Amino acid sequence: MSNSEESRVVTQHHYTKWPDHGTPDPLSLVVFHNHVLRTRSDNHEAPTIVHCSAGIGRTGTYIAFDALCKEGKSKGTINVASYVKVMRSCRMNMVQTYEQYKTIYLALNEGFKAPVHTRSIPAFRESMKHCFREDSSDHVIYQKEFKTLSDIKSAYTEGDFKDDTLNTVNTKEDVLLSDKYNLYLTPTVSDGGNFINAVYVSSFCKENAFMVTTYPLKENAVDFLRLLIDCNSDTVICMDSLAEIESSTAWLPEPSSFKMFGPFSLQQEDYSEIDVKVTRVKIRDGLVKFFMHCENCYINSILRHFKVDRMTG
């Protein structure tokens, strides 16, 4: 931005997943705020300008979180209600809804109890070189970090699992899915319901980047195929241990052959096995790449990734 002979660089950060009158995920707000502070220029003391559509709801929520973070770090105590009251004396209706007000508390809880520490990729790789050695002191660090995350995890009630409890025939009793994150199927199959034992999981860079579900057996292969076709995410992760699966290939067709599951026709097109087993299966209007990692992979579970590439025609 230039004015006569003076110029400076202005950086705009756009929170694209925060709807008007709505609320962001508290942890996502913490990560976004951390990114804004971390990438800010140190050359001047100019304030950060915050704006949304009306300049009161989302703007007020962000400003309150930012100011209370700074106050908490400097004084050790904060008063959310008092600060929002001061904001409203300067501009009416700052922090517009109850949900936005609640988000300030939840984000502050995340920010103070489990602060975001961003690391570069080279630094992360260097730390991972020795973290799994038996004599590594990093074990203690990870244990403390995991305990911190466990202490601030969301508390749920029975009312948060209504859909899952109504469909217990399709779920494991010790793993319940919150209605907030459930995936639902479209009614494209006759006599097929809309419930499936699956949830969305976001990555650092993308919302709903992955789908997590149980490994498909013959009896629920139809719903699994519906999941692949219905949802925009192109990666499915199954965390089941192989010991819990009677056959990992029961629903897959033999080479150069077909299998029918409801209205879906499956044909195996390719298979390879180098570092991982890869089966390429043609499904109706898409391709599924099937990956099975080695048995000694992360947390002693088998991660299976299903890549869906849409085909036309």
Each residue's pLDDT expressed in tens, for the chain with a length of 313 residues: 999 999 988 889 999 888 877 898 898 899 999 999 988 877 667 788 999 999 999 999 999 999 999 999 999 999 999 999 999 999 999 999 999 999 999 999 999 998 888 888 888 888 777 776 766 666 777 888 888 888 888 778 878 887 776 665 545 556 677 777 778 888 767 666 788 888 888 887 777 888 888 888 778 888 888 888 888 677 888 888 877 777 777 888 888 788 888 888 888 888 888 888 888 888 865 444 444 333 333 323 333 344 444 333 2
The maximal CA–CA distance of the chain, rounded, in angstroms, is 74
pLDDT of residue 112: 93
Boundary of a domain, candidates 86, 113, 140: 113
- Report in angstroms the alpha-carbon separations of 267 from 90, 153, 217, 273: 65, 43, 17, 18
Do 29 and 141 fall into the same domain? no
Token readout for 285 is 């209007």
Give this prediction's pTM.
0.70
Do 74 and 104 fall into the same domain? yes
Closest CA relative to residue 264, chosen from 221, 211, 219, 217? 221
Do 105 and 177 fall into the same domain? no
DSSP code per residue over 166-209: HTGGGS-TT----TTTEEE--S-STT--SEEEEEEE--SSSTT-
Q: Domain holding 99: CATH number? A: 3.90.190.10
Q: Residue 139 is part of which domain span?
A: 121-151
pLDDT of residue 180: 78
Question: In the chain, which ranges are continuous DSSP H helix?
Answer: 26-38, 57-75, 80-90, 98-113, 121-128, 138-151, 162-166, 221-230
Do 223 and 163 fall into the same domain? yes
Do 203 and 220 fall into the same domain? yes
Do 224 and 284 fall into the same domain? yes
pLDDT of residue 44: 66
Do 140 and 272 fall into the same domain? no
Closest CA relative to residue 113, chosen from 150, 64, 140? 150
- When divided into structural domains, the chain yields a total of 3
Cβ atoms within 10 Å, residue 148: 12
Alpha carbons 226 and 202: distance in angstroms, whole number? 21
